Structure 1
Amino acid sequence: MLVVTSAELRKRFGQYQEAAQNEPVSITSDDQGGLVLLSAKEYERLKRRDREVRRVEDMGEDFLQALATAEVPAEHAHLDAELGDWRP
């Protein structure tokens, strides 16, 4: 992700507007990340992925069994560090 200050964004808005078509642009102010400039296409993609909530009662037995026995692929083991000390 490209990171720019709000002052830099004001000076070269067109440049960062174009960059946001390819990657998110984080806009900082007083060393705080507060805003992200991204393309409309990326925004729409993220909106489509909004979380859907389903009741367990509405899930089929096959799905629940698959969920209970699912394992994380080895190539994603490095993400365990994201959990910190939290464990179910």
Structure 2
Amino acid sequence: MLKVSVADFQRDIGRYQDIALREPVAVTRDGRESTVLISTEEYARLKRRDRQVLTLDDFTDADIKALEQSRPDPASLAFDAEMSR
């Protein structure tokens, strides 16, 4: 990821917008990354990965029945100790 100071970014924003079409551009302030410029395609890809919150009203009766009947994989028992920490 390319890093650029806020001053350089402001001086040549068009250049950095072009670069952001290919790779993220981190804008730094006082030496620390403060924002990242990305393409709209990358933004849309990331938004598609957002979690969707559903309520029980969003599930069909068949969905709820399938959830009620589901059982964890026996291999997952190896992680039970993680819950007691």
Q: Which of the five TM-score ranges fits, normalised by the shorter chain?
A: 0.5 to 0.7
What TM-score comes out, normalization by structure 2 length?
0.64
Q: Deviations along 1:2-61, whole A, 9 cap, x unmatched?
A: 11000111111111100000111000011121100001110010000012467xxx6462
Distance in 2, matches of 1:19 and 1:48, equals: 23
Partner of 1:61: 70
Partner of 1:36: 36
Query: What is the aligned-residue identity percentage?
Result: 39
Q: What amino acid is aligned across from residue 68 of structure 1 in structure 2?
A: S
Whichever of the two has the greater Rg, that structure is 2
Distance in 2, matches of 1:67 and 1:4, equals: 47
Partner of 1:5: 5
Change (3 A) 1:61 1:27: same
Q: What amino acid is aligned across from residue 39 of structure 1 in structure 2?
A: S
What is the RMSD of the two structures over their aligned residues, measured on CA atoms? 2.7
Mark the runs of 5 or more structure 2 residues left unpaired by the alignment: 55-63
The total of aligned residue pairs comes to 67
Moved over 6 A (4+): none
Corresponding residue SS for 1:35? strand
Distance in 2, matches of 1:61 and 1:33, equals: 45
What TM-score comes out, normalization by structure 1 length?
0.62
Q: Does 1:49 align with 2:45?
A: no
